[in-house]
Structures are given as structure tokens and as C-alpha cells.
Structure 1
């Protein structure tokens, strides 16, 4: 399992993904779930992947191979399309191609071929856009009312995103928010693990603004995690307790028994 999140803002898009891949409790490996295609000055596309690693790597390989081949009007690539919507359709077509080639294996082992994708970025003068793409190849787009997508083991990181996320945030604030959602997830699920890949794309830059890998000993992440734990404990202490607990229940009488 993994955890990935993309957050579209007025100022750009922030992406984050873990790197843990499990093949059993004693077989843990590190694989990047973040894939970047960048033609500086023209387009930047970022894709996050979750699910069966063989399936998602096959999709990524198809997309990368088509970028490096001569343009074909019948088979558009991420380097030839003119909108992010068309790019999402290209990813969907690649997913369906893998499903078609591996049809028998998927039918024999349907549970092994779960996969989901987040695709975001900007092409030319178009606004930055963000999509969630499903294993069937269909997709939905982020909106001001729902500006972020999560895939993988997302339930532990969702509460803070649902309460705090807003498209008008600064990019640095959004990056902090995503890392806090990862901190909650890491504490609750062993199938999600460090290091964390984070990427910030600034609107109209048409190149990656910042990309880094956060290791377990990262000073900022450790400070963030500690400060968040202390803030939660402090908030809990200062919230009024439930008043009826002690008054509604009758006092407990301790019965004594004597022999003889």
C-alpha cells in the first residue's frame, strides 16, 4: 500500500507521495511513486501512482516510451497533447492498453491489479489542472470545492485536509498541510513509510519549482511532527470536557463481604 496526495491551489500544485512497497512484513522496498515529465517552457506533468507496482510501472513505461518516439496523430503522447484534459485521456488509454494486454492475468487475479493515479500539471497558457484517474481509465478533475485528491491509504490523512485545505493557501502552507497528513498516516499504518517525495509546481513556471526527498532524519519533518503532537495535546486539554459524565451516573458502591 502507499499514500499519495495532490493539492491544486490558485498559486500552483503541491504533490507528495511515500516510497514504501510491501511484499510481506519482511520484504519492504523503496520505490518512487512520483513520475515527472518536463519540457521547460512548454509543459510540466506530474503523476502519482498507487496500487499494484507491476501494473503502474507498465503504465508509466508506455507513457515514457511514446514521448521518446516520433509524433503520431493516431497515438497522442504527453508531449504532443495541447491540454491537460487530453493528457488525462492519454493516461487513461495507457491504462486500458495494459489491461487489454494482461486481460487473462487480471481475470485470474482481479485483486492484484488494483491501481489509481493522480495527474497534474500545466501545458502552455492553460491553467494548472489536477485529475484523479481510476484503474478503468476514466477520471475526474479537481475543483475549487474539492481541490485535492488522495490515493492509496488515505483515510488517516484525510481529516486534517478536509478541515484545513483551501485553494487560496500559499504553496509553503499547503506543503506543510500535506506533510502533516503524512505524519498522521505514518503513525497509523505501517504499510506507508518514509522517505516522502514532495514536489511544488508554481503556476506558469512551466518547470518544476522544487522537488526533494524527505528522509526519516529530516530536521523540518521531525520538528513539524513534534509541534503537531504538542498542539493536539494542548488543544485537547483546553477543550471543555463533557459535563454530564460524573453527574448522571450514580455513585459506585463498593460491596464488602465478610466471612464468619
Structure 2
């Protein structure tokens, strides 16, 4: 499985992707995020799905950027171009994959800001090549293993959150997924884009470099749980026990009536 997170806040974009690849009992690492030159700007791609589909679609897309890149002055045009290459790969490989019992599958997150974009953009592409734009109401999207890392983002992150806050909650979202899913893990890659700059910063982190962050989060969670009053639990237990007794009484009465 994969964990790829894209965040769009007012001041910029954050992209976080794990690198763990699990095949049977074997575990390896592979880069799941890539930055592509687009005129004087850059865009990033993150993918979750079949590696062979990803590599082929990205290769085709890079060729398009080399030959037609200067024509993409808005993000949606570049996203459409990648979607076209994804559909091209589907035409070439989908049938043969199906014959082998493998479903054609690739989800993609694309982010950036091109020459005529008034604002930075974030998109989610589906395997069919269609896409949605990530808006302000829910300023993030996750592909791959999304269940464990989503709650903290939904509870805390808004479009007006600072870029630093987006990075913090993004790392905590990744950490929550990492400790809960064996197929997501370090090293983790991160890309940061500051609005209107056109340039993207990229770095890779090992667990030893950020372990304190996850440990601090774990200790804070334990402390917060202990601080929640427990008086209400007695009422909860009483309610459960009463309903349990009522259920037993009903069962006895029904048995006697038979």
C-alpha cells in the first residue's frame, strides 16, 4: 500500500509520500513523488497504484513536457495532459493486465502553479484519467492508505492554516498511518511550495531524523486521554448493563412463550 498526502493551504502546497514497497514478504523502497520542470515553474506528481503503469505514464508525460511544455500556462492543462497519457497506457496495457488477473490502477495527486494560474492548485486524478480539484472546504487529499491519517487532518487543518501547521499535521497524519499499517513506512519524501514562487523544495527524511516528532505526539495523546474526565463512564456502564439485563429478560420471556 501507499501513503501520499497533498495539502493546499492559503500560503502554498505540501506533499508527503512514503517510499515503502511491499511485495509478498519482501519490502523495498521506491520514490513515489516526482517534480517536473514546466517553463519557469515546477509541478509535482504523486502516485498510488501499479508501479508499471506509473512509470510508463510518467515517461510519456515527460515527453509531452519536453515537446509541448511551453503551451501549458495553467495547471489544468498539464493535468489534462497527464490524464491523456494515463488513458494511453490503459489502451496499451489494460487488457493484458486483466488477462493476468491484475486491475489497471493508478491514482495521482498533482500540484503546482503555472504562469497564468492566479493561485496554486492541487488535483486528484483517477485511473480513468478524469480529475477533481481540491478546494478550500477540505484542503487535502490522500491516496493509498487513507484511513488512519485522515482524522487528524479533518479535525485540525483548514485552508487558512499556516504552511508550518500544514507540515506539522501532515507529518502527524503520516505517523498515524505508519504505526498502524505495516505497508507504509520510512524513508518519507516531502515537497514544499510557497505561493507565487514557482519553485519547489524537496527533501527525504529517515525515521531517525523525525522520530522525536512521532514520540512527542504519542505522549501528548496519552496525556490528553488521561485528562478527559471519567465520571461519564459510570453512566455509560450503567446504561450498557441495564440494556444487557433487559435483553436477557426479553429472551427468557420469549423462551417461556414458545
TM-score bin (small chain):
0.7 to 0.9
Structure 1 residue 152 displacement after superposition: 0.4
Aligned to 2:152: 160
| 1:212 paired to 2:203 | yes
**Contact 2:94 2:104 (C-alpha < 8 Å) held by counterparts:** no
- Cα deviation, 1:25-56, whole Å, max 9, x if unaligned, reads 2x21111100101347x322001001111111
Structure 1 residue 245 displacement after superposition: 4.6
What is the TM-score normalised by the length of structure 2?
Answer: 0.87
Give distance in 2, aligned partners of 1:14 and 1:113. 28
- Cα deviation, 1:78-102, whole Å, max 9, x if unaligned, reads x431211111111110110000011
Structure 1 residue 240 displacement after superposition: 1.8
Structure 1 residue 106 displacement after superposition: 3.2
Find runs of 4+ consecutive structure 1 residues off by over 3 angstroms: 109-112, 245-250
Aligned to 1:51: 49
| 1:90 paired to 2:88 | no
Structure 1 residue 111 displacement after superposition: 3.8
Which of 120, 126, 133 is residue 128 of structure 1 equivalent to?
A: 120
For 1:16-31, list aligned pairs within 5 A: 16-25=16-25, 27-31=26-30
Pairwise CA RMSD of aligned residues?
A: 1.6
**Contact 1:49 1:56 (C-alpha < 8 Å) held by counterparts:** yes
Aligned to 1:169: 161
Aligned to 1:35: 34
- Cα deviation, 1:157-188, whole Å, max 9, x if unaligned, reads 00101111111111111111111001100101
Which structure 2 residue ranges, 5 or more long, are not aligned? 243-258
Give distance in 2, aligned partners of 1:55 and 1:103. 9
| 1:147 paired to 2:139 | yes
Give distance in 2, aligned partners of 1:173 and 1:183. 15
Give distance in 1, aligned partners of 2:186 and 2:112. 25
Aligned to 1:81: 72
Which structure 1 residue ranges, 5 or more long, are not aligned? 72-76, 251-260
- Cα deviation, 1:101-139, whole Å, max 9, x if unaligned, reads 113213324644221000010001411000000000000
**Contact 1:39 1:207 (C-alpha < 8 Å) held by counterparts:** no
| 1:232 paired to 2:197 | no
Give distance in 2, aligned partners of 1:95 and 1:9. 28
**Contact 1:99 1:106 (C-alpha < 8 Å) held by counterparts:** no
What is the TM-score normalised by the length of structure 1?
Answer: 0.87
Give the SS at the match of 2:62: helix
